[in-house]
Structure 1
């Protein structure tokens, strides 16, 4: 089990994934400095806080795309923006790498 600082950081990320978060924001919510948080994530989760945030945002975008309806005007770009992705191409690349399909393949038509 991860230490309390990592659990607090993960909880903060999950609760605020739709907001613009920085490493400093996450560290402050966890009660430690940014470097200490990075080291704790590397040691206990094998990743960084910001990589964890990106994955959380991708997962939320994936869930939203699964229930979205292109015929009702839902778009990949709008979903990506809601989850903090400002670059559609970076979102698409990360999405395909994580889920094995392009985001447009998940959006229901």
Structure 2
């Protein structure tokens, strides 16, 4: 969580305020399967990009809170946790495909050959 957001959340929690934190009727009503379907489709189609809650909500045509309710109600997770999982799933598939696409079936041997050829392990190459 960025420092400003953490500071704001802390201030709202610690200091008395009249902020209404009850869910709006529209938010809970809009937290249905159709909202979830649109939000999931957006996540799948944009997995390569940095996704924010505002992006997901705009794509689903609802408020950010409605998106949060939909994910929590139907999937038991948050929209950003779901987006992270989608990205991880895509990376996992690419990693599994990469070794067979180039004929490397043993990752340890591939890593050793890569290090001999380029002087660095594959993980270093990935970070550059």
Same fold flag (TM > 0.5): yes
Alpha carbons of structure 1 residues 28 and 75: separation in structure 2 relative to 1, 3 Å: farther
For 2:80, the equivalent position in structure 1 comes to: 50
SS in 2 for 1:68: helix
* C-alpha distance 10-23 of structure 1, shift in aligned 2 (>3 A): same
TM-score under structure 2 normalisation? Answer: 0.54
RMSD, matched Cα: 2.6
Provide the C-alpha distance between the structure 2 equivalents of 1:41 and 1:55, rounded to a whole number of angstroms.
13
Instruction: Note if 1:32 corresponds to 2:68.
Output: no
Counterpart CA distance in 2 for 1:66 and 1:27 is 32
* Structure with more contact order per residue of length (Cα contacts < 8 Å, sep ≥ 6): 1
Counterpart position of 2:17: none
User: Residues 76 and 38 from structure 1, CA distance in 2 versus in 1: closer, same or farther, beyond 3 angstroms?
Assistant: farther
Count residues in correspondence: 79
Please state how far the C-alpha of 1:44 moved relative to its aligned partner: 0.9
Deviation at 1:36, TM superposition (A): 1.1
Structure 2: segments with no counterpart, 5+ residues: 1-31, 100-109
Question: Following superposition of structure 1 onto structure 2, how do residues 17-96 of structure 1 map, counting pairs within 5 Å?
Answer: 17-69=47-99, 75-76=122-123, 78=126
TM-score between the two structures when normalised by the length of structure 1: 0.63
- Unaligned ranges ≥5, structure 1: 82-109
Alignment deviations for residues 9-38 of structure 1 (CA, whole Å, 9 cap, x no partner) = 000000100011111001100001111110
